[in-house]
Amino acid sequence: MREQWTDSCNLLALKEGVVIGYDRNDKTIEAFKEKGFDVITATDLIEKLESGEKSPETIQNTLILMPSAELSRARGGFHCMSMPLYREKI
């Protein structure tokens, strides 16, 4: 219940098949794994990118997990925090 109403569905698609979300959503993580997605923490992914083991172009079907103890308190997620504001010029 917490995942549904708090932050589990508030993912950000970085590209087709690659999304970023909170690490505290156990049921969401399991659902992605059941669909064949790799799950990796952002810290581990950065290390693999820096070592050359992975590259942004080759990452597919991946859920990237970010720590969320503080961010999720505001009841928002990566999608909400990434949307640009377009305003008319004054």
Domain ranges of the chain: 2-81
The total number of residues written for the chain in this structure = 90
Per-residue pLDDT tens over the stretch 8-48: 567 888 899 999 988 888 888 999 999 999 999 999 999 99
> Is 80 one of the annotated active-site residues of the chain?
yes
d(CA 34, CA 85): 35
Residue 4: pLDDT over 60: no
Catalytic residue, candidates 73, 80, 81, 82: 80
Beta bridge partners of 12: 20
Per-residue pLDDT, 88: 78
Question: What is the phi-psi region of residue 38: left when phi exceeds 0, alpha when psi lies from -120 to 50, beta otherwise?
Answer: beta
